[in-house]
Amino acid sequence: MGKTKSKSIRKSAKVLNSSGVKFNESFEKNKKILTGLTLSKKLRNQMAGLFTRTKRQEMAKQEAEKAPKKRFP
C-alpha cells in the first residue's frame, strides 16, 4: 500500500479539479499539466499521482456500472 496523502495535498487537488482543469489517468500527462504551477518536485508528483489514482477509480466505477448485472434464477 502507498502512503496516504496529506490533507493539504488533497484540498489543493480538489480546488484544481473543481477549477476546470482536465486531468486524465496518465501520471506523466498529469505531471506535465502541473508543471505550470510553482510546486516543488515532490508536491507535483504527489498531486499527479493522486489525480491518476482518482481518475482510474472513476473509470473502473463507470465500467462496473455499464457491465450487465448477472441475475440468478
Supply the pLDDT for residue 68.
74
CB 25 within 8 A of CB 18: no
pTM of the predicted model, to two decimals?
0.73
Supply the pLDDT for residue 27.
93
Query: What are the backbone angles phi and psi of residue 5, rounded to the nearest 5°?
Result: -80, 145
Q: C-alpha angle with apex 34: 28 to 37, nearest 5 degrees?
A: 155
Q: Which residue has the higher pLDDT, 3 or 68?
A: 68
Supply the pLDDT for residue 26.
92
Per-residue pLDDT tens over the stretch 14-49: 888 888 888 888 999 999 988 888 788 988 999 899
Q: Which residue has the higher pLDDT, 21 or 5?
A: 21
Domain boundaries, the chain: 24-49
